[in-house]
Amino acid sequence: MPLAELVSTDPCTGQVIWTGPVGGVAAALARARAAAPGWARTPLAERIAIARAFADAAKAAAEDFARLIASETGKPLWETRTEVASVAAKVEISITAQAERAGERGSESGGVRQQLRHKPHGVLAVLGPYNFPAHLPNGHIVPALLAGNVILFKPSEQTPAVADFMAALWAKAGLPDGVLNIVHGGGDVGRDLAGADIDGLLFTGSAHVGAALALQFAAMPHRILALEMGGNNPLVAWNVDDTGAAAATVVQSAFLSAGQRCTNARRLIIRDGDDRLVEAVLALTDRLIVGAPFDEPQPFMGPVISNAAADGLERGWTGLQAAGGRVLRPLLRARADRPFLSPAVIDMTGCTPSDDELFGPVLQIIRVPDWDAAIAAANATRFGLAAGLIGGDGALFDDFWARSRAGIVNWNRPTNGASSAAPFGGIGASGNHRASAYYAADYCAFPVATLAADALVGGISVGLKP
């Protein structure tokens, strides 16, 4: 039976930029199973050399790669260039991380050697999101390949072209056939993949899909499941001296990537009466350029990924107003048939909005009377990905750090722009305690302990009948 076709379009123009078949999980799994033993036994030095060749290939193709990501996601070219740089940089970071966290250790005592080594799980599925279609799946793929796993990669159905481009770079780097297999499709194909005979699944995406995967995996505790999910991230501004710098940090936290980063600040928590900061945030928001990826001058932010995503955000915006929010800057859609949204700000003080992630350019402001109320508001979410404090002093940040329930807790820095050289993950509905980025090495391999001696040395010295 012929496979159905997937079509990927440029969100800014609606032009088709990629078409291809969906599905094919069983065939991809067979290819992966056939390749798995050989790749697991390939010496680490060879796997590292191929990963380095991939990084070189990504650098050599950097401009084409960045332009493709920009066309398929609508993100500005300046930003997709940084995504490509992160893809290449991930390789050396992952090599260091693997040596440090999943390397070999040993000691010897009385002729007995104690060894710790790691083995790959086997066949790992990687499910990617659309917002960083190269960098985020790459953050699972590179460490998983270094560890000796083979991969079934299902990219977001919104970004298949970027995934194919990345796979071609791996092929160019000399990755053997069957080691990285792409399966295209939407949620139904993702579900099939999760239910296939795989050894684990590495997921980056929304909390509701992550929760569905956790249910699917509940009866299979022997399979690794790493979940990197969304957030309803708070940014607290307290005792701020430099209002201009604070406003820039707020705007970057909230609106970078048109609000389509898991680490974007969704809620700005301020002391009641701190109107200078709000005015500065609004003034800067009014200056942000929203445009297409290749526009000159470059826009600060592009459209959201699709008309369906823009429709969903408009519904979420209506919900905030229905919950009593006071609009400070409206969520405007310049053209009904395109997903360009303006950055929006709404005062939700005293309201009880739903604790959902609005994955777009919407910032909620919450005014509180004192510091304890600020901490309570920051933690009033089922998520726990990123949190930030701007202003205050070291003692205030220490208190914020100690009381914040999140996997990333920043001070005087935006909530986004996480370092690949640090672990990245959240608690609550944001993750399942399998942090990614630098700690991805941990979930890509399992430790095997060995006691070994060159000759048998037997002898029971107690508890024997004469």
Q: Give residues in contact with ligand SIN (CB under 6 A).
A: 131-132, 136, 261-263, 416-418
State which residue, 59 or 413, has the beta carbon closest to ligand NAD. 413
- The residue with tokens 């993950």 is 425
User: DSSP code of 248?
Assistant: H
- Picked from ligand NAD, ligand SIN, none, the partner binding residue 274 (CB below 5 to 8 A depending on kind) is none
Q: Look up residue 266 and give its amino acid.
A: R
CB of 106 to ligand SIN, least distance (A): 37
Task: Using the minimum distance from each CB to ligand NAD, give the nearer residue, 76 or 407.
Answer: 407
Give the residue with the Cβ less far from ligand NAD, 357 or 442.
357
Report which residue type is found at 389. Answer: L
What's the rounded Cα separation, in Å, for the pair 326 and 334? Answer: 21
Q: Tell me how crowded residue 370 is: count the other CB atoms within 10 A of its CB.
A: 10
What are residue 85's DSSP bridge partners? none
From the list ligand NAD, ligand SIN, none, pick the one residue 209 interacts with, judged by a Cβ distance below 5 to 8 Å according to partner type. Answer: ligand NAD
The active-site residue, picked from 12, 79, 83, 262, is 262
Active site residue 228: yes
d(CA 409, CA 374): 15
Closest approach of ligand NAD to the CB of residue 253, in Å: 14
**DSSP code of residue 76:** -
Q: Which two tokens stand for residue 13?
A: 């123009």
The item of ligand NAD, ligand SIN, none sharing an interface with residue 205, based on CB under 5 to 8 Å by kind, is ligand NAD
CB of 416 to ligand SIN, least distance (A): 4
Tokens for 5, please give them. 């076709």
If the CB atoms of residues 28 and 313 are measured against ligand SIN, the closer one turns out to be: 313
Structural element, H or E, at residue 99? helix 77-102
Tally of CA atoms within 13 A in the half-sphere of 359 that contains its CB: 19
- Which residue lies nearer to ligand NAD by CB, 50 or 69? 69
Among ligand NAD, ligand SIN, none, residue 128 binds (CB under 5-8 Å by kind): ligand NAD
Give the angle 291-297-299 at the CA atoms, nearest 5°: 30
**Rounded Cα–Cα distance for residues 149 and 158 (Å):** 26
Binding site for ligand NAD (CB under 6 A): 127-131, 136, 154, 156-157, 186-187, 190-191, 194, 204-206, 209, 212-213, 228-230, 262, 357, 359, 385
Give whichever of 262 and 269 is closer to ligand SIN, judged by the CB atom: 262
DSSP 137-172: HHHHHHHHHHTT-EEEEE--TT-HHHHHHHHHHHHH
Smallest distance, ligand NAD to C-beta of residue 357, A: 5
Output the smallest distance, CB 462 to ligand SIN, in A.
57
CA angle 199, 200, 202 (to 5 degrees): 155
Kindly state the smallest distance separating residue 298's Cβ from ligand SIN, in Å. Answer: 18
Counting runs of H as helices and runs of E as strands, what totals does the chain give?
A: 14, 19
What is the closest distance, in whole angstroms, from the C-beta atom of residue 136 to ligand SIN in the complex?
6
SS3 19: strand
H/E element, 118: strand 112-120
**In this chain, which residue has its C-beta nearest to ligand NAD?**
190
Which single residue brings its beta carbon nearest to ligand SIN? 418
CB 151 within 8 A of CB 143: no
Ramachandran assignment for 122, one of left (phi > 0), alpha (psi -120 to 50 degrees), beta (any other): left
**Helix 371-378 with 394-403: angle, nearest 10 deg:** 40
Known active-site residue 46: no
Nearest to ligand SIN of 23, 431 (CB atom): 431
Q: Can you say whether residue 49 is alpha, beta or left, with left for phi > 0 and alpha for psi between -120 and 50 degrees?
A: alpha
Catalytic-role residue among 228, 279, 351, 444: 228
Residue 73 Cα to chain centre, angstroms: 15
Query: Least distance in Å: CB of 296 to ligand NAD?
Result: 28
Catalytic residue annotation: 228, 262
